[in-house]
Amino acid sequence: MLTQRSEEVIITFIAKKCLINLTSEQVREYKRSFHENHWPSFDTYVEMRMSMWAVSIPTENWKSGTCSCPPFLKKHKCKHLIAVAATFNLTSIPISAKAIVLGQKKKRGRPAKATKALVRD
């Protein structure tokens, strides 16, 4: 995650695979490629387009921010926008959302047999 902040807009670049830290050179290359808008092949364009997400958030109204990821282009909201807004204290994530358990693993072994409906133990 690499952030460029001005008075009105916060622009954050997030690597597609969040484990990789972005360098300022990678971001410069990304911006230069899209500024020049000259691509040797469509595959090169797709590779560059999908390498990182550019999240741009106006500080006055974070909901009117934009992101370059496919879910945002489809639904006009995405997890990146909310996460960056929460990082810069423009919004807060409700406690009810934090309480939901994520990624719980399935129990090992065979699933339990169904009990008979009309028999009491």
Q: Which is nearer to Zn ion, 9 or 112 (CB)?
A: 9
Q: CA 111, CA 76: separation in Å to the nearest integer?
A: 40
Q: Closest approach of Cβ 52 to Zn ion, in Å?
A: 11
Q: Closest approach of Cβ 24 to Zn ion, in Å?
A: 21
Q: Interface with Zn ion includes 85 (CB under 5 A)?
A: no
Q: Closest approach of Cβ 53 to Zn ion, in Å?
A: 5
Q: Closest approach of Cβ 34 to Zn ion, in Å?
A: 16
Please give the residues from 52 up to 81 whose contact with Zn ion meets the rule CB under 5 A.
67, 69, 72, 78, 80
Q: CA 23, CA 26: separation in Å to the nearest integer?
A: 5
Count the site residues for Zn ion by CB under 5 A: 5
Q: Which is nearer to Zn ion, 97 or 114 (CB)?
A: 97
Binding site for Zn ion (CB under 5 A): 67, 69, 72, 78, 80
